[in-house]
Homo-oligomer: A and B are copies of this chain.
Amino acid sequence: MTNNLVTKSATIDPSHKIEQPHKSSVIRFGVVGYGYWGPNIVRNLRSLEGCEVVGICDQTPAARKRIQAAHPGIPVHSDFHELVNSADIDAIAVITPAWTHFELAKAALKNGKHVFVEKPFTSKAAQAEELINLAEQKHLQIMVDHTFLFTGAVRKIKKLLKEGTLGKLYYYDSTRVNLGLFQHDCNVIWDLAPHDLSIMNDLIHKDAEAISATGQAHVNEFEDIAFITAYYPDKMIAHVNVNWISPVKVRTTLIGGEKKMLVWNDLEADEKLKIYDKGVDVKSQEGVYNLLVSYRSGDMWAPQVEQVEALRLELNYFIECIAKGHKASNDGVAGLRVVQMLEAASESLRHRGKLVYL
């Protein structure tokens, strides 16, 4: 990753009110892929001002039928090139399996389209770098769909960290387990961990130095359970527990800081975030055995978390970035970082925990 990749820093705060871009600059979208996630992309794009959906593409006839039923007025395509080659399209949303992202995004960029790419950005870091360079040359935008960054919970945590509420960060410990959905082309790390890695990177604001991962495949050749440790500077440590064969669904993250600690339970309807006035106070005295460790335990506080559709906020931010020429915070570089960590984790996992430097 060379420095020239980072040119114009993102100055847009995704948390602020949605401002609609100028009517004159309506972004015309083509959407590729109408499987599980694609319908949400189309629905949100259609509900936003400043853009319109001018074509949707999917290779399977069944998906095309569903497109026609849900969006009667919009042209449906079976061949991706019809969208990429269209002069009427400004941006392509790539909502297909991960291993197809590179080829599709590359073709889109080459044809002068901005791209919005489903996570993980690409299957290999080298591919992500190539796309980033291509976008730079063409002055085009890449946004990687790290949707969680736009949820009320993550935005609130980010605000709390920015304000110093938690103090110096000690650890980030996420558990993301449930039964299924088995993928046919990747292990549980590539499926579930991108959420945590993108959130960690966004919150910690430092680059992880090294990764150790362990795991096991039971059902087919792909690991269905895995544990990732990421070492960050300043003794910050992150851990991600991902599992496709858990009997219960868990989406819980503990974030420990010097001043306060936080629990984020994403399955709670209300009270997703709880901030604990708990911690450890250390008074150094002479000698190791005289180190005084005392515990602090005070009130708990559950701030209200804004209930917005994260994807809507993210897509609006993409439109805004294009309209104003800003680079997004979840741009190709952020996506590349996650892919690098996924690669490192997979390599470490193959060697049973061996440390892999980033």
Contacts and interface: CB of A to CB of B under 8 A. Distances in A.
Interface of A: 72, 170-171, 173, 175, 177, 179-180, 182, 184, 210, 212, 214-221, 225, 227, 229, 231, 235-237, 239, 241, 243, 245-249, 254, 256, 258, 261-263, 267, 269-271, 274, 276-280, 282, 288-289, 291, 293, 295, 297-304, 348, 351-355
B215 A212 contact: no
A202 to B, nearest CB: 21
A298 B304 contact: yes
Contacts of A214: 212, 229, 231, 237, 239, 353
A248 B237 contact: no
Contacts of A237: 214-216, 225
Contacts of A348: 353
A254 B247 contact: yes
B239 A246 contact: no
Given A212-B352, A221-B288, A295 B179 contact: yes
Contact of A280 (B182, B215, B278, B291): B182
Contacts of A210: 352
A213 to B, nearest CB: 8
A247 B256 contact: yes
A179 to B, nearest CB: 6
Contacts of A288: 184, 220-221
A82 B299 CA distance: 49
A353 to B, nearest CB: 3
A277 B271 CA distance: 12
Contacts of A235: 216-218
Given A173-B243, A300-B302, A282 B212 contact: no
Given A214-B237, A302-B302, A352-B212, A293 B219 contact: yes
A210 B352 CA distance: 9
B302 A299 contact: yes
Contacts of A277: 304
A248 B220 contact: no
A100 B176 CA distance: 41
Contacts of A246: 254, 256, 261
A241 B353 contact: no
Q: Nearest 10 pairs between A and B by C-beta? A: A212-B353, A247-B261, A247-B276, A214-B229, A300-B302, A353-B353, A216-B237, A182-B293, A352-B355, A247-B278
Given A171-B218, A214-B353, 11 more contacts: A171-B225, A173-B225, A179-B279, A179-B297, A180-B295, A227-B229, A229-B353, A247-B256, A248-B254, A299-B303, A353-B354
